[in-house]
Structure formats: structure tokens, C-alpha cells
Amino acid sequence: MNNMKTTYKKSLQLLFHLTGIACLLLALVSCEKDSSAPASDTIDYSDNRCWFENKQDATGKDVDLFYVVPTCIWDYTDSLGQTRHHMDIFNTEQRALTDPSIQLAKSVLADSCNFFSPYYRQISMDSWLTLDTALIEERFKLAYQDVADAFHYYMEHDNQGKPFILAGHSQGAKAVIELLKREMTPDISRKLIATYAIGYTVTPEELAGYPTLRPAQDSIDTGVLIGFNSVTRPDAVSPLFRDNVVCINPVNWRTDATPATSYQGFTVAQDTTIHTLIVTGIDEEQYFIPSVAALLPKGNLHVQEFNLYNEDLRKNVLQRIRAFRQAQ
């Protein structure tokens, strides 16, 4: 495992060199420190230390954004010698792994929004690499408890009636999809501009069973779920995402196979049989991380999606905010 983590770290350092993007600290290294997880069953989200940058950018605008960060930690050993599978949100080294990814999302999505991002007991990259969905779901229960608690605290104490956007990437996308499934009252739904759940999966059964999962159809519909996964070829889809049925192209905001060329020069078209974006015109070798190939095969662009579509997403947040206001 240590060799795998070292290789992963070196791969990410190479990606930093090639792309100059700090977001790739996703799941960087393990934190084998004296850092056992908090003893309490719940986290007190009235404590501003439980939020990115102590919520310092969380006032002054009339729209909020609630963001859930992706996987940024590995398993680690606590002071009792026990292996931990969840983040210790008060450990400074684990926060240092997590913060660049939050900052990237903030820079892309939150130009016009008060920004709220809770630290939560996310499950480790080791958990995902098992590809064991039952184990992942069991461990994710604690992570989701934290996200739901943070969301309810935000709605009760911080939202103050403002329209808001939900967003998350990877594990964070799973979390906001679950928020849509479990926590949406009519009052909350009326204030929801849109949900950006990037880099995860929605099954046909979920789509049929939860009316709150309403996939976006264009660039300006509101109250919708925006989701996509990106690969250079169909066989690069993550084995955990093969049943996905929600996908929209963020370059042209279409749900069909119409291709679109990005301002960065590559072309994106949806393969509508697998509901996944196929990206051509980039070098997949630059984005391949061998140590996580079981989860993200060569050609999978999961860790790059905020960077590939940063201007498209930035503009679209403004489009959906305007559309929401015009509909009021």
C-alpha cells in the first residue's frame, strides 16, 4: 500500500507539472499520524472550524453555494494503532490535502455566491479502490450523516431564505445526490437553483424512484441535476459508474450526441448508449494514474473535470442564476 501511495503521489506531482492545477491533490497520500477521529457520534457544525475557511466568504451575496468536496484522504493509523477509513476533520495534514480541491471548486463555481463547504468524515480512497459497493455504502453512512447535518445546519442558520446551489464532485457528488433523494422538502426545493453533481452516477432505479432527481436538459433549466463523467474512450468508464443514466455535455449543454469543441481545443460528445462524455483531442497519458487504474482506467478523466470545463461551468452558474431570478 505504501508503494502504491508513493506512486500515486509521484503521478500527481507529474500532473501538477503538466497542468499547473492544484486540484489534483485528490487522494494524495495517507496521513499516518497521531490523529484518531473525533470521538463524538456527530459533528457540531455551529463551530466555524468545521467549515472551509471558517465560512469567511459566506455573506454579502444574494445566492449561496453549498459544496461537498471529493475524496482526498487514504486510510491512516490513529494513536491506538487502529486503521481509520474516514477523515479526521480536525487533522491539519488531512485538511491540507482537502483544501486545494475545495478552493478549485470555489474558484470555478462561486463567483456570484456565498460559499459554504463543510469538512466531513469522507471515506478514504482505499475504500473506493476495493470496488466493493456494499462496503463503500456501509462506510459512506457516516460521511453522509455529516453532510446532511451540515446541510441542515446551513439551511436553519445560514441560508436565511436565499436561493442556493448544491454542488459536489466524486464522493461529494454522491453526497449531494443523496441530499436530493432524502432531504428535499417543498420549501427547500423552491429555493434550489440547480445541483451540480459531477463525476458520479445515477442508476435507472434511482431516477425512476426519486422525482427530485430531474436531469438537466439545457443550459438554463432550474431545479435540475447536472451530471457527467468524462473519458477518452468507452472502455475507460469507471466500473462503479457503468449503470449511469444522467449526462449532459457542459460545452454545448445538450443531452444528445452532438459534438462541441471546447475553448481549450478538445472536442466533447456524449455516447448516449453509456451516458458518458467522450473527449477527443487530448493526451490521455497525461492524466493516467496507474495506482488507481482499478477505479479510474487509462482514459478516464475523472480528476480533471473541473479543469476541463472550468469556464463552461463558471458561465453556466451565472446562466442558471439569471434564469431562476427571471422565473420568480
Are 296 and 289 in contact by the 8 Å Cβ rule? The answer is yes
Determine the pLDDT at residue 24.
37
CA distance 277 to 230: 5
CA 59-65-69 angle, 5° bins:
120
User: Which grid coordinates are listed for 294?
Assistant: 482499478
User: Which grid coordinates are listed for 29?
Assistant: 497520500
| Residue the block writes with cell 459544496 | 67
Could you tell me the pLDDT band of residue 40, with boundaries at 50, 70 and 90?
low
More confident residue, 10 or 130: 130
Determine the pLDDT at residue 25.
35
pLDDT tens for 263-303 read: 999 999 999 999 999 999 999 999 999 989 999 999 999 99
Angle between helix 92-109 and helix 310-327 axes, rounded to 10 deg: 60
pLDDT of 6 above 80:
no
DSSP string, 207-255: HHH-TT--B--SSS--SEEE---EESSGGGS-GGGTT-----BTTTTBS
Q: How many CA atoms lie within 13 A of 167 on its CB side?
A: 27
3 state DSSP class of 267: strand
pTM of the predicted protein model: 0.89
Determine the pLDDT at residue 92.
95
User: Which grid coordinates are listed for 286?
Assistant: 497525461
pLDDT tens for 227-237 read: 999 999 999 99
